[in-house]
Structure 1
């Protein structure tokens, strides 16, 4: 069929995945400095109240976005034989759902503003509604690139988009636009993303929507979208509940604390996750199993993530003080608890991608319902105890979600808990070895205003070195990947030198 990749060997598939990961990781790491600098500037220009307004409005937009996606990207990625009619049908569904969500976001903005007793929430939502009119014209093409494991256009689109959002948000905040600077920057970023996707659209790629096959897309999407709708509902629940129970400043404090954990999402998960679903799906199509690939992914993610989150949790005060400024130091204790939450969730972070890849849409949907219901229940049970209580509620929910995910994966894939534990144990040893000296230092010398910079700089230099030594000593599978990558980089440098 048109646009379908020929069957490949396992070695070629692995090479393609590594190339895709390289582009995806480059996308995250090139964007990271802009995002960090932008966060540092915005955190010092906006008050907690102003930042909280945008955080609450962003939750509504993100929730609408999960409906807007309607599983279209996942449908295109997992479709066994992809033809023009499939793409046209996906385009039709994406336009219809996205425009309806944009309309609902616009119409619902006054009610949200009244519910949260702040007109700014409605103002931001109305600008964000415009995004939904534009997004479908780039979303289908980007999904096709992901299916083909062609991440070069996605990398370039991300680079241009991050440059645009950084420029617009910073200039807007400097000129007194307050939280609206963030709203206008998101709109500008969508415009750039859509324009880039259209520029790289393959020759002969369908340009117009079509009705043939729409029913199949809807049938898939009604289950697949539920996975991400419930996921986003649970993700946005803290801001929505805290914003109503307390105030916008409290929302902003929680948002800044979760932002430190989000650093790992930006540096690693955001690079890895887009590759995992197409990799799992292609591996399942070609080899009939994805357990080995899933366990390898878990091993890699926990080796990186547990060390990163351990460092951030220990140095939370330093991180908050450096990135956000002195007005946000109350968020440091929250960040420490949320780092533990992130570490627990990391074990089966890719569970929904694995279930979708093998066609277990209903089961993945039920898993998300269970996880996010427990997350909301945990929040509601402890939010009367304040922000710290809310974080502990999330920790309890994450432990429940870990056991629930393992149960679902065991039934769907035959994945045994002992195999997951065996994959994670070396990562745990690596993380403990890498962060233990920093933890001892923090106990002996409490992090405060007079030493937070020194602690961050010295700790940030020690932990990566210990991490590499631990990977080698533990013979972690990630170490062989690092050696291979470094060998290729050295070979490129030598060839250029000659």
Structure 2
């Protein structure tokens, strides 16, 4: 069941990545870096503001033993009420924010984002309920439709000359689609859920206290350095850093986000069943590292080609930033597993403290670096990410008594596989004249990396081979069923 859940969550992420990648490529050629920087700033402010509603997060439904109608009503009532308060504050402060950044479009942008946030709140309890039931197939369909709607509106309005506001309208259209589909796909009748109720408010606040604080700290860590950069430097600098982060986050989106979307419910299920959590934790790290490390290091190696192909010639300044961010991302691996694991163990306070300590350290480093420009921020990641990794491992070790030798043994095969995957691309890029056929060399490097990766899996007998075997057997079974169906139809 967990394997199927991960596959469905991965499928959703692949579609979302493809859609967002298309938006990235097209909009980067329609809008200027300055316009994109202004949109990024507006989105960052909205994300920080609405992260506060995680103090009444609907995710408490996932951990709860049973869920009744009163519980769902409480979750919905609190989500909507807090979202309305946040939206009103955002609209009230939009004029001040606009003057602070000297960006006239920000006021309307934030007003649209406020409306989108309130509408999105209507869907959160249903989404949490589907995650609880491991209904990732339904969620994949919903989120793919939402991403596609937002992407189409963003691209269309950007092409029509709406500038950075196109992103806000895209966000609003996606929120509307999410609310409609969530209500339509709800396992319970809408009339039963969409009535005010506060019967379980103490339970919601008890669960959300630490999770909400942890998410607020995380969002501040992600956005505040960019907001400072936009004020001290320029909106173009914000766009360069943000788009470089986006490119480096492709392996994160493909691998880690799919994992995170089902990690909490899956790990919570294993804890309830009394499984060996140490074995599970080290196994997760082994699986993720063999996918994530080759991905980020390949991005660093192929940064000039990736920036040129995806963003276009006006973004060449992003190449060194992409290289540095991708190299530093190697240290990010253990961090993303920490939150879901601690929440599954019922250690909400430690999950919050782990996030608070690591994010505060990292945010301080990034904010200080942002005063010195984009390159300084990229270089600072070689300090902030290792610090976050150490903090994450320390907090997990308090409840999962793994040894350093066991951790090294779990990760060493992945490191070897990563080395195998990079040999071919490095040799190809070392050949003279490879710049003359950039697209061809890029495709060749990807193929060589894939071949080296498979060779590394076989050479180390990596445990991920089991997953490949499962996928291969599933493909063969489907092919057999298809052949039988075609034969029967022909008969």
- Which bin holds the TM-score, normalised by the shorter protein? over 0.9
The alpha-carbon deviation at position 492 of structure 1 amounts to 0.8
* Conserved 8 A contact 2:117-2:175: no
| Equivalent of residue 163 in structure 1, options 120, 141, 148 | 148
Q: Within 1, Cα distance between the matches of 2:433 and 2:227?
A: 34
Answering whether residue 218 of structure 2 is matched by residue 242 of structure 1, we say: no
1:198-347 matched pairs, under 5 angstroms? 198-204=183-189, 206-287=193-274, 289-347=276-334
Q: Within 2, Cα distance between the matches of 1:377 and 1:445?
A: 43
Query: What's the CA shift string for 1:404-448, capped at 9, x where partnerless?
Result: 111111113323333222221111111111013323443555875
Determine the structure 2 residue equivalent to 1:442.
Answer: 429
Answering whether residue 149 of structure 2 is matched by residue 153 of structure 1, we say: no
1:91-490 matched pairs, under 5 angstroms? 91-204=76-189, 206-287=193-274, 289-443=276-430, 445=432, 448=435, 450-490=436-476
Q: Within 2, Cα distance between the matches of 1:100 and 1:220?
A: 20
Q: Within 1, Cα distance between the matches of 2:225 and 2:256?
A: 21
Question: CA 1:254 to 1:84, structure 2 compared with 1: closer, same or farther past 3 Å?
Answer: same
Q: Within 2, Cα distance between the matches of 1:265 and 1:440?
A: 26
Answering whether residue 43 of structure 2 is matched by residue 55 of structure 1, we say: no
The alpha-carbon deviation at position 403 of structure 1 amounts to 0.9
* Conserved 8 A contact 1:434-1:466: yes
The alpha-carbon deviation at position 284 of structure 1 amounts to 0.7
Q: CA RMSD in A?
A: 1.7
User: Which structure 2 segments of 5+ residues have no match?
Assistant: 485-491
The alpha-carbon deviation at position 65 of structure 1 amounts to 2.7
The alpha-carbon deviation at position 141 of structure 1 amounts to 0.2
Instruction: Identify the range of structure 1 (451-460 vs 39-48) with the bigger mean alpha-carbon deviation.
Output: 451-460
Determine the structure 2 residue equivalent to 1:13.
Answer: none
Aligned-partner SS, 2:346: coil
The alpha-carbon deviation at position 133 of structure 1 amounts to 1.6
Q: Within 1, Cα distance between the matches of 2:222 and 2:59?
A: 20
| Alignment length (residue pairs) | 482
The TM-score, its normalising length taken from structure 1, stands at 0.93
Q: Within 2, Cα distance between the matches of 1:279 and 1:248?
A: 41
* Conserved 8 A contact 1:28-1:270: yes
Q: Within 1, Cα distance between the matches of 2:59 and 2:426?
A: 42
* Conserved 8 A contact 2:8-2:136: yes
Q: Within 1, Cα distance between the matches of 2:432 and 2:236?
A: 30
Q: Within 1, Cα distance between the matches of 2:430 and 2:228?
A: 34
Q: Within 2, Cα distance between the matches of 1:486 and 1:190?
A: 37
Query: What's the CA shift string for 1:344-383, capped at 9, x where partnerless?
Result: 1112321011111111111111111111111122123333
The alpha-carbon deviation at position 242 of structure 1 amounts to 1.2
Query: What's the CA shift string for 1:18-69, capped at 9, x where partnerless?
Result: 2212221111122332222221110000000000000111111111232123
Q: Within 2, Cα distance between the matches of 1:416 and 1:107?
A: 52
| Equivalent of residue 32 in structure 1, options 10, 13, 17 | 17
The TM-score, its normalising length taken from structure 2, stands at 0.94
| Equivalent of residue 84 in structure 1, options 44, 50, 69 | 69
Instruction: Identify the range of structure 1 (478-487 vs 235-244) with the bigger mean alpha-carbon deviation.
Output: 235-244
* Conserved 8 A contact 1:147-1:278: yes
Aligned-partner SS, 1:287: coil
Query: What's the CA shift string for 1:461-496, capped at 9, x where partnerless?
Result: 111121122112211111111111111111111111
The alpha-carbon deviation at position 279 of structure 1 amounts to 0.6
Query: What's the CA shift string for 1:221-256, capped at 9, x where partnerless?
Result: 111111111111111133112112200000001111
* Conserved 8 A contact 1:318-1:447: no
* Conserved 8 A contact 1:153-1:197: no
The alpha-carbon deviation at position 209 of structure 1 amounts to 3.3
